[in-house]
């Protein structure tokens, strides 16, 4: 982390985040220009002290379908980091607009269990700008430390800023052959009402999630589920089997259009588990996650 740290007195409101995000795409005041690998990114980080709130964790478990066993779900660390990610993404010195970007990957490395009521210090920075065939990838990295200064966890959110790059004219990779999957281990149902409840808990009120009109405005058939909701909800298949010290890596595929019923598949891999949320008719993946013990 850089030495230049902006300390927040509290997390920004979700409505404030949304208003600033929409402002960033206005033609007069919005962000302009294309990114390149040489584009300068903010060298500062953003910090925030938080207390893990029991009521909010309870609400999070209710909307994701996870068992509220008194612990803190591993994907909840992303919820804690989200306001800091947006604080950097929406700042005047950030060279791209947040609205229209795509969340493509998440990696959470939890070094121990996180406790209800625990005070944590978060520090978020941004870097690793690189080209992709569909745009520029960028990592927002959040470090979690406890009151003694010990490292509790780290979280990396990888975003795709959609634009042309020097890789855009390269041929697209051959699509993976879709083999019709067998019977799923479970189904996952979700509708707009549930996702609006998640938005209130998770802090992400992007219009694509909030209403069919909002989804259609950005080119979707209707509103879509948060990828982070799906990434959390699929972990119900592993209730009681996720180690305190573990890495959860998630790749986001095609969005879940609301309402939807998703097929869930799990299998053991070396050191852990893989879970895939698939379209129950066509078989393509919405989310692919791996949980591996440290």
Q: How many CB atoms lie within 10 A of CB 37?
A: 10
pLDDT band at 178 (very low <50, low <70, confident <90, very high): low
Q: How far is CA 81 from CA 11, 27, 28, 141, 203, in A?
A: 10, 29, 30, 9, 10
Q: Which residue has the tokens 């990295």?
A: 141
pLDDT band at 7 (very low <50, low <70, confident <90, very high): confident
Residue 291: per-residue pLDDT:
98
Residue 23: per-residue pLDDT:
56
Question: 110: part of which helix (H) or strand (E)?
Answer: strand 102-110
- Give dist(CA 78, CA 39) in Å, integer: 26
DSSP 13: P
- The pTM assigned to this predicted structure is 0.90
Angle between helices 54-64 and 192-202 in degrees, nearest 10: 160
Residue 265: per-residue pLDDT:
97
How many CA atoms are closer than 13 Å to the CA of 232, on its beta-carbon side?
27
Residue 22: per-residue pLDDT:
53
pLDDT band at 71 (very low <50, low <70, confident <90, very high): confident
Do 38 and 116 contact (CB within 8 A), yes or no? Answer: no
Tokens of 242: 């996720």
Q: How far is CA 290 from CA 14, 250, 268, 281, in A?
A: 29, 7, 9, 23
Angle between helices 76-89 and 192-202 in degrees, nearest 10: 70
Tokens of 285: 């993946």
- Give dist(CA 110, CA 126) in Å, integer: 20
High-pLDDT (> 70) share of the chain, %: 90
Question: Cα 10 vs. chain centroid, distance in angstroms?
Answer: 20
Residue 1: per-residue pLDDT:
43
Decide: helix, strand or coil at residue 249: strand
Write out pLDDT tens, residues 179-192.
677 899 999 999 99
**Arithmetic mean of pLDDT over the chain:** 90
High-pLDDT (> 90) share of the chain, %: 74
- Lowest-confidence segment of 10-14, 106-110, 142-146, 272-276 by average pLDDT: 10-14
- Give dist(CA 158, CA 76) in Å, integer: 17
- Give dist(CA 109, CA 51) in Å, integer: 19
Burial code of 146-179, b = ≥16 C-beta within 10 A, e = fewer? beeeeebbbbbbbbbbebebeeeeeeeeeeeeee
H helices present in the chain, as ranges: 14-23, 54-64, 76-89, 192-202, 207-210, 212-217, 227-233
pLDDT of 158 higher than 50:
yes
Residue 27: per-residue pLDDT:
47
């Amino acid at each position: 982390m850089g030495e230049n740290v902006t300390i927040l007195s509290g997390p920004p409101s979700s409505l404030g985040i949304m208003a600033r995000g929409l402002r960033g795409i206005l033609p007069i005041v919005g962000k302009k220009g294309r990114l390149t690998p040489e584009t300068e990114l903010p060298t500062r980080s953003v910090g925030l002290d938080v207390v893990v709130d029991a009521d909010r964790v309870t609400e999070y478990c209710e909307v994701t379908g996870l068992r509220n066993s008194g612990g803190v779900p591993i994907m909840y660390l992303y919820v804690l980091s989200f306001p800091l990610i947006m604080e950097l993404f929406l700042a005047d010195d950030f060279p791209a607009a947040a609205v229209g970007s795509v969340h493509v990957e998440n990696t959470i490395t939890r070094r121990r269990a996180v406790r209800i009521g625990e005070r944590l210090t978060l520090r978020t920075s941004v870097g690793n700008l690189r080209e992709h065939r569909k745009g520029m990838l960028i990592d927002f990295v959040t470090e979690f430390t406890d009151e003694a200064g010990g490292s509790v966890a780290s979280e990396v959110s990888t975003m795709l800023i959609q634009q042309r790059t020097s890789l855009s004219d390269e041929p697209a990779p051959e699509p993976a052959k879709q083999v019709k999957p067998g019977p799923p281990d479970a189904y996952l149902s979700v509708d707009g009402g549930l996702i609006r409840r998640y938005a209130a808990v998770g802090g992400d009120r992007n219009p694509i999630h909030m209403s069919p009109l909002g989804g259609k405005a950005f080119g979707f058939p209707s509103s879509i589920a948060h990828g982070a909701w799906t990434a959390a909800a699929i972990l119900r298949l592993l209730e009681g089997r996720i180690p305190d010290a573990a890495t959860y890596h998630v790749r986001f595929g095609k969005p879940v259009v609301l309402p939807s019923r998703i097929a869930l598949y799990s299998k053991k891999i070396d050191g852990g588990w893989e879970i895939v949320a698939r379209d129950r008719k066509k078989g393509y993946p919405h989310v692919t996650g791996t949980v591996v013990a440290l």
